[in-house]
Chains A and B, each alone.
Chain A
Amino acid sequence: MIDFSYTALILLIPLVIFVLSGLFGNRFKPLVSGIIGTAGLFVIWVLSLVTAYQYFFLTEKAADGTFQELLAVNIRWLTFSDKLHIDMGVLLDPISIMMLLVVTTVSFMVHIYSIGYMHGEKGFMRFFSFLSLFSFSMLGLVVATNIFQMYIFWELVGVSSYLLIGFYYTRDSAVAASKKAFIVTRFADLGFLVGILILSYTTGTFDFITLTGDESPAFTSGQGIWFMGLSTMTWSMIFVFIGGAGKSAMFPLHIWLPDAMEGPTPVSALIHAATMVVAGVYLVARLFPIYTTTAPVALDVVMYVGAFSSVFAAIIACTQYDIKRVLAYSTMSQIGMMMFALGVSGDGGHEGLGFMASMFHLFTHAFFKSLLFLAAGAIIHAVHTNVMNEMGGLRKYLPITHATFLIACLSISGIPPLSGFFSKDEILAAGYEKSLLLYWVEMIVSGLTAFYMFRLYYSIFWGKATQYHHTPHEAPKTMTVTLIILAVITLLAGFIPFSHFVSSDRIPFAAHLDLSIALPAVLVGLTGFFVATLFYRKETTIPGQIFNFLGGFSRAAYHKFYIDEFYLFVTKKIIFNYISRPIAWFDRHIVDGAMNGLSYVTNEASFRIRRFQSGQLQQYALVFVSGAIFLTLFFLYLWTH
């Protein structure tokens, strides 16, 4: 048996780096803090590679061929009651190791990239210390041994995202975006928390291994109808999913993601493309046995929300001009597909194809999407604008960026033999088995994906060569190296026999390429590609005509279907003006008014009473005499006892 306790270092190293650079950061030269952070990440990356190798190849499987769930470290952190307690630890199983690899790799790449990208920025070391904080929190989330540890790191991930989005804190839009991201996800986290509360109450445990094991209390308790015809467990899973939907930007909690692009581009690549936004998928995958066994309705919710979000975001992505926003909606769309895949999946063996596909897509998407973002970063770095209309013909100036961007585009469009093809194919296959309608919806999404990606690609690299203020030039080495590495991964990742490592019941199985699914998918992808080529390869008026032809619909899509406006209306107008303000008023005038009224009455009464104290001796005497007489009368006649 291999001792995995060294995996605790994976959490501790970034934490230590964060604390050190947070406390003493201004003593170092900026570059030093960047290098320390990167070096730390390198160590972690190596460690997680070692862990993965040892886990998948050197650790014995259980008797029935499953990968074991290993508690590498588990320390009691806080006790609630005899049964409920929060532990801090490291749980190793296929999906957590897969996530470890994704997070450390992308994070490592982003660190290297940032040394070039953020060079000369004010707050360079602040940036790196926040990155370390993020890495720490994300890794903690991934290896969480219990749902409460996950919640803790979930919150920490949220706050590091907040800090990084608001990195350019003097820019109002960045401040607003960071605030929005935090509050929206916080709202979703409330759902998560309620889900945890219900879950922990019904099952009496937070522990993942207990919860998802064969004799999970979640399978036996909380099955009764509780509310609106659904069982307690179903509700708890729906609430948990709300948390996941918030982090993963699922409709209708997606509004923060496009705005989050206000952060520095490496941050978008790391947090808002590859790692944090897939936490929701990971969360559902973690609790997957509960979903399939006792909460199929909740799983259906996951499916429908995922499917809807994917198509919704894809449509919006076709109409946006800010390249980072296009990528953001693309991310949302792809995560929607992952959710969809989880939603259609069953448990065990080939039934669990969707689960595997979802994880596979998560894996490949992390690489090609971070590649896309980093490439976009390189482009922005070169031309100093985000808007694609102001670009064009860049392929001559930025050859490496161009090549890597193209690879990523092909991959996300599902063109074989790039990684995106394999994972997307599995998703469609899984969807085909569950529901034909949704299968076609996802097919359309797939086509749209290819379309908007190539729309982006052509607008940036082809078309008329815009006159730039100064000639764009290729990014520094630290940036291009990472682009190349990620491109290589994107090229090769599809050939990993993913189902041999990750499956819903942790038993390896063989997934085959089903041509009847793969062919139409590729065709749809190619269609999207050709349409985009037709429209955007050279400047044409067709897109404009189509845009006008669709009229209101396209305008609505351009305005992101007015969801933002709706939320703004609810929060600003209703909550702020019609709830909070009246409460403030109520407090001042009614509650406080009652208290002041009390004092006023007392005061007034005393003013009235003091009239009796007139200073007129004879009045006093009269009162005294009358009183004496009255008392005499009272004691002599009235009080007969």
Chain B
Amino acid sequence: MSFLTLFIIIPALTVIGILLCKKHMQVKWTAVVGMGLQLILAIGLIFLFLAERRSGNMDEILFIQDNVWYQTLNIHFFIGVDGVSVAMIGLTALVVFAGIFASWDIADLPREFFTSLILLASGVFGFFISLDLFTMFLFYELAVIPMYLLIGIWGSGPRHYSAMKLTLMLMGGSALILLGILGLYFNSAPDGGPLTFDLIQISKIQIPVDAQLFFFPLLFVGFGVLGALFPFHTWSPDGHASAPTAVSMLHAGVLMKLGGYGCYRVAVFLLPEAAHQLGWIFLILATIGVIYGALGAVWQKDLKYINAYSSVSHCALVLFAILIFNETAMNGAIMQMISHGIMTALFFALIGMIYGRTHTRYINEMGGLMKVMPFLAVAYVIAGLASLGLPGFSGFVAEMTIFVGAFQKIGTFYRVATIIAASSIVVTAVYILRVVGILLLGKITNPEYETITDAKWYDKISVVALIFGITLIGLAPLWLSDMITGGLGPIMQKLLAVAPILN
């Protein structure tokens, strides 16, 4: 029995606790306690993991637990972590924790809201710790489905449309993933042994190249939909715009990472030959996505749309980096996921808080907010600077790792793609500063805003926790980078076996 199981048990207990609560306050505090524990657990996991590695335990996967739960199809509850998943778990715990505080103001049906939210979170945790493809898929669905309720019930604007669109597109992705996973399953025993969903075991065998070529696009696109792969990203602007604050945070911060993580852990890891042969197609799409998302954000007027497009750009950078297939870029991809996760969660939290005060998300209707809510405004500037890749914040570390890594890859095609992707940092600066300029600086345009109050204590907790995350990584990235690099060994081995890369 590995203590990783706690990552699923704690949310489950929290959900039960919430359902037993009667008052609003009790519900909130139960959620805080549960997710606080989860955060502590995640931090503990990071320390334990690092200690374990330092003590020389170089196993590919640590803290393994393996139980069979459906013998007929050989489905296991197989969990364990490597450096990459530890990092992702840390991210999730932080964002969920901040998300709870960011939705402190929720008035309608708080019990149901927090239940769905934590259910979603437990799906994400489960996804990151599981190593059995089927279990993984199960958790993936568990994470995606509450989203429909969360947006459909607590959302704003054309929420039913957005919720439906988001759910349908993600379900479309899931269908592809399911196909892909079944494909892997049925090819998992070329010597005629028992079929398996075990990710590690599948990674050790050679899947026929024909099958790889068929299943790689399915898996990559399937996960790519969630990872906002161009042109399957359109659920993102609508979905984010309609979703309530905490849901946007979780969705952009964590759920979109499931896509990137899936592409990395399932599509590329298990199907390296196909990845090598077909990667360029998706690389082009990702490069387009990077610059396209950034340029798309320049013109938007709705804060959430701006951030949604910015997410498209940043997440496309993740996919871009994964498809470069070298260690540095791959490392950058994981760091970018974490960095973008925290950053965008911060953004959405702030947007939610600003919206809660001004009741509009159109930047042209606001102005001069720095004066009335300095805390939120400064936090927004920090988030913006982090987003445009300022050194000292996590975004810089991740982006630079990606660009340096990508540029090491031989071939003019990759070089050009890298330079195009890198040029997004300029565009990012443009739209971030545009928003900061219009929204926060200048004079107060609307006299009603003179009386707006600054952040409350719970807002501050949420914001400070996230800012702490980005600056911690931004100032001292080495431990994270090393931890992730340690987890990249197996995938790099597989990729190098396919095509030796000079690096």
Contacts and interface: CB of A to CB of B under 8 A. Distances in A.
A167 to B, nearest CB: 11
B368 A576 contact: no
A78 B401 contact: yes
B231 A591 contact: yes
Contacts of A159: 385, 390
A198 B404 CA distance: 9
A153 interface: yes
A80 B169 CA distance: 36
Given A77-B478, A78-B477, A580 B299 contact: yes
Nearest to B230: A591
B422 A193 contact: yes
Interface stretch (A178-186, A339-347, A530-538): A178-186
A581 B389 CA distance: 24
A162 B328 CA distance: 31
A179 B296 contact: no
A193 B309 CA distance: 24
B126 to A, nearest CB: 29
A183 B419 contact: no
Interface string B330-359: 010000000000000000000000000000
Interface stretch (B137-145, B175-183, B428-436): B428-436
Nearest to A172: B442
Nearest to A186: B429
B371 interface: yes
Contact of B299 (A148, A151, A584): A584
A309 B285 CA distance: 41
Contacts of A591: 230-231, 233-234
Interface string A569-590: 0000001100111011001000
Given A170-B442, A179-B434, A599-B168, A576 B299 contact: yes
A587 B478 contact: no
Interface in A70-84: 76-81, 84
A80 B442 contact: no
Contacts of A151: 391
Given A155-B396, A169-B370, A595-B234, A200 B404 contact: yes
A80 B478 contact: no
B370 A155 contact: no
Given A179-B433, A182-B429, A156 B391 contact: yes
Contact of A78 (B385, B434, B437, B481): B481
Chain B contact residues: over half helix, strand or loop, or mixed? helix
A202 B407 CA distance: 10
| Interface range, B side | 35 or more
Contacts of B33: none
Contact of B165 (A78, A79, A579, A595): A595
B284 interface: no
Contacts of A148: 400
A317 interface: no
Contact of B408 (A81, A152, A595): A81
A201 B328 contact: no
A594 B232 CA distance: 10
B433 A152 contact: no
A219 B426 CA distance: 31
Contacts of B434: 179
B442 A81 contact: no
Nearest to B404: A80
Contacts of B327: 81
B307 to A, nearest CB: 14
Contacts of B485: 79
A84 B404 contact: yes
A162 B430 CA distance: 13
A407 interface: no
A197 B136 CA distance: 38
A387 interface: no
Contacts of B426: 183, 186-187, 190
A18 B429 CA distance: 23
Contact of A595 (B169, B296, B430, B481): B169
Interface in B401-416: 401, 403-405, 407-408
Given A78-B401, A183-B433, A175 B391 contact: no
Contacts of A201: 407-408
A81 B328 contact: yes
Contacts of A581: 299
A176 interface: yes
A193 B391 contact: no
Interface string B283-312: 000000000100110111000000001000
Of B235, B405, B437, B440, chain A has the most CB atoms within 10 Å of the CB of B437
Given A580-B299, A583-B299, A594-B231, A175 B442 contact: yes
Interface string B460-503: 00000000000000000110011001000000000000000001
A101 interface: no
Interface in B238-272: 238
Contact of A77 (B231, B368, B477): B477
B413 to A, nearest CB: 15
A164 to B, nearest CB: 14
Contacts of B385: 159
B334 to A, nearest CB: 14
B443 interface: yes
B441 A175 contact: yes
A592 interface: yes
B359 to A, nearest CB: 23
Nearest to A86: B400
A183 B425 CA distance: 10
Nearest to A85: B478
A166 interface: yes
B397 interface: yes
Contacts of A176: 437
Contacts of A575: 298
A584 B296 contact: yes
B384 to A, nearest CB: 10
A595 B299 CA distance: 21
A447 to B, nearest CB: 38
A80 B328 contact: yes
B17 interface: no
B476 to A, nearest CB: 8
A565 B370 CA distance: 30
A83 to B, nearest CB: 9
A194 interface: yes
Nearest to B371: A170
Nearest to A206: B404
Interface string A266-293: 0000000000000000000000000000
Given A159-B390, A169-B370, A169-B441, A182 B433 contact: yes
Nearest to A84: B404
B201 interface: no
A599 B299 CA distance: 27
Given A79-B481, A183-B433, A584 B300 contact: yes
B57 interface: no
A176 B396 CA distance: 24
Nearest to B238: A592
Interface string A117-153: 0000000000000000000000000000000100111
Contact of B503 (A81, A152, A169, A190): A81
B36 interface: no
Interface string B137-179: 0000000000000000000000000000100110000000000
A152 B389 CA distance: 10
A226 B408 CA distance: 16
User: What 5 A-B pairs are tightest by C-beta distance, nearest first?
Assistant: A592-B234, A152-B391, A197-B407, A580-B298, A169-B441
22 contacts: A79-B482, A80-B328, A86-B400, A155-B389, A155-B396, A162-B433, A170-B368, A171-B442, A178-B433, A179-B433, A182-B433, A183-B426, A193-B403, A194-B419, A197-B403, A197-B422, A580-B296, A581-B299, A584-B300, A587-B296, A594-B231, A595-B234
Given A80-B404, A170-B368, A584-B300, 6 more contacts: A79-B485, A171-B442, A200-B404, A575-B298, A587-B234, A599-B165
